[in-house]
Amino acid sequence: MRASLIQIAVDPDEPVEDRRARVARLVREERGAADLVVLPELWPVGAFAYESFAAEAEPLKGPTYGTMAAAARDAGVWLHAGSIVEAAGGALYNTSLVFSPDGELVGSYRKIHRFGFDKGEAVLMARGEDLVTVDLPQLTVGVATCYDLRFPELFRGLVDAGAQAFLLPAGWPARRRGHWTLLAQARAVENQAYVLACGTAGTHAGVEQAGHSIVVDPWGEVLAEAGPDEEILRVVLDPEKVTATREQFPALKDRVL
């Protein structure tokens, strides 16, 4: 299975509408090169652009949904379209969208762990409650978002639900880039699963982004890692590797708690 992670630069000078069109073009250009495309967290607005969340909030089936459904269909790929600021029932959520190659929504995930402590996303957004997995043709993927990466119990829950790979869109700050790489490898090793973690590039709302999107295999080896700027990472995933790793080193079977 060929996967492409598109590490988008989120530049406050680029209007959201233009970025949507540009990202849709980038997804379409993966036609024939990828089976699965992954985008970052909140790339339309910027994960730290808190003051724009309300203005850029959209219903689940809003402009990003429409543009990304069409891009998935045109590219003929499974698309994790990153996340949007979703407006629903008077609240905002950080919601990820996953589309099939027919452009059908096959999964949506509301971020469970909101970042910011007593500020920002943590107070502006409501918390998701449900774990989400999606069955791709050869691989069951579990979905998590950015700060979720720090909470291993969420990933164990996804493994219990059948996940063999984790798709993690993010808007991770450059200041904690070391944690990002370390935690991505840790989640892969402890769960014997692929980690596909796609971050943003650039600086928005005064927060320099780490970039450095990363793909880690079930043994913890880094298959590919981006630099700090906008970039597309292309990797080949082997679903058999998950089975083989779990059989040859069956640590998951020794869980007690």
Structure tokens of 254? Answer: 């020794």
Residue 171 in the binding site for ligand AKG (CB under 6 A): yes
Please, what is the minimum distance in Å from the beta carbon of residue 211 to ligand AKG? 13
Cβ distance to ligand AKG smaller for residue 28 or 177:
177
Cβ distance to ligand AKG smaller for residue 103 or 173:
173
Q: Which of 73, 150, 234, 241 binds ligand AKG (CB under 6 A)?
A: 150
Q: Of the residues 30, 111, 121, 198, which is catalytic?
A: 111
Q: Of the residues 30, 86, 121, 146, which is catalytic?
A: 146
Residue 167 in the binding site for ligand AKG (CB under 6 A): no
| 3 state SS for the chain | CEEEEEECECCCCCCHHHHHHHHHHHHHCCCCCCCEEECCCCCCCCCCCHHHHHHHCECCCCHHHHHHHHHHHHHCCEEEEEEEEEEECCEEEEEEEEECCCCCEEEEEECCCCCCCCCCHHHHCCCCCCCEEEECCCCEEEECCHHHHHCHHHHHHHHHCCCCEEEEECCCEHHHHHHHHHHHHHHHHHHCCEEEEECCECEECCEEECCCCEEECCCCCEEEECCCCCEEEEEECCHHHHHHHHHHCCHHHHCCC
Residue 147 in the binding site for ligand AKG (CB under 6 A): yes
Residue 166 in the binding site for ligand AKG (CB under 6 A): no
User: Per CB under 6 A, which region of 100-108, 131-139, 146-154, 220-228 contacts ligand AKG?
Assistant: 146-154
Per-residue x/- mask for ligand AKG, residues 178 to 217, rule CB under 6 A? -x--------------------------------------
Size of the site for ligand AKG (CB under 6 A): 10
198 among known catalytic residues: no
Residues taking part in catalysis: 41, 111, 146
Residues that bind ligand AKG (CB under 6 A): 47, 115, 146-147, 150, 171-173, 176, 179
